[in-house]
Amino acid sequence: MENSSIEKSESKLAKLEEKKAALNAKIKLERNKLNAKKRKERTKRLIEKGAILEKLQGDDAESITPDQTLEWLKSNINTDSITILKKRDTQVKRLKTQLQVLQSELEFFKSTGQSWSFTNDDGSKTTVTERIIELWNSNNR
């Protein structure tokens, strides 16, 4: 009877060892999947950052080796140039906003000018918009 109890315990222990091995295999598989995802994300990030760096390097990008890149960065990118780029970006945003306002005003004046007309010396009718375009063209020749 004791022999039977020992055999049952050994059998139970063997089954638990099998389950443990299966769980360890699952853990290893999931860990490998996670590492593959992390590598894929890192590779994507490196490619994107590399593309930005090449854009900054301009026409010289192909001739600058990876070993020379750090020196290129040190000589071309500094806090002053970053500050200048930020200021330029702010100026561009401000100018875009101003341009949108001016375009809106221009559309308003253009549509309003189309509805206003006056009679020329020869008796022909001209819209305000047409007259402004005539004057503009004659001044910019």
pTM reported for the whole predicted model: 0.46
How far apart, in whole angstroms, are the C-alpha atoms of residue 73 and residue 127? 58
Of 126, 129, 108, give the one whose Cα is nearest residue 118.
Answer: 126
pLDDT at 19: 96
The residue length of the chain stands at 141
Quote the crossing angle between the two packed helices 2-57 and 66-76, to the nearest 10°.
Answer: 60
pLDDT at 1: 56
Which residues make Cβ contacts (< 8 Å) with residue 119, sequence separation at least 6? 125, 126
Tokens of 38: 């992390």
For each successive 10 residues of the chain (141 residues), what is the average pLDDT?
A: 83 95 96 97 95 89 91 80 81 94 88 81 86 84 72
pLDDT at 85: 76
How far apart, in whole angstroms, are the C-alpha atoms of residue 76 and residue 64? 13
